[in-house]
A = this chain, B = another copy of it.
């Protein structure tokens, strides 16, 4: 992932409403959620939500598709993972003490890898 992409991802995530938005969309996977439903769920005005959605999409953290009158937004899990991976690997050089803080998540990931659920990214 390029540096500029990571920077825009970080600055997109550095906002309460947009962090909530990602949190809302991630568990729904590809199914996603219509903009109107997101607005209701988060209590945002339509124009404000549209602004935040555009910022996240521009940063490669979510995707959109039109379905009839609705625009469905879903999390771009690879984009989100890529940004986090950049922080861990390229920025922190997989420093053991940083990774230790992510220990539980790491165990999760490795368990899935061991079970063949995941096709893990190869190291740099």
Residues of A within 8 A of B (CB): 3, 6-7, 10-11, 13-16, 19, 22-23, 26-27, 77-78, 80-82, 84-85, 87-110, 112-113, 117-124
Contact = CB atoms under 8 A, between A and B. Distances in A.
Contacts of A117: 96
Chain A binding surface SS class? helix
B100 A84 contact: no
B81 A105 contact: no
A80 B93 CA distance: 12
B77 A95 contact: yes
Nearest to A77: B97
A17 to B, nearest CB: 11
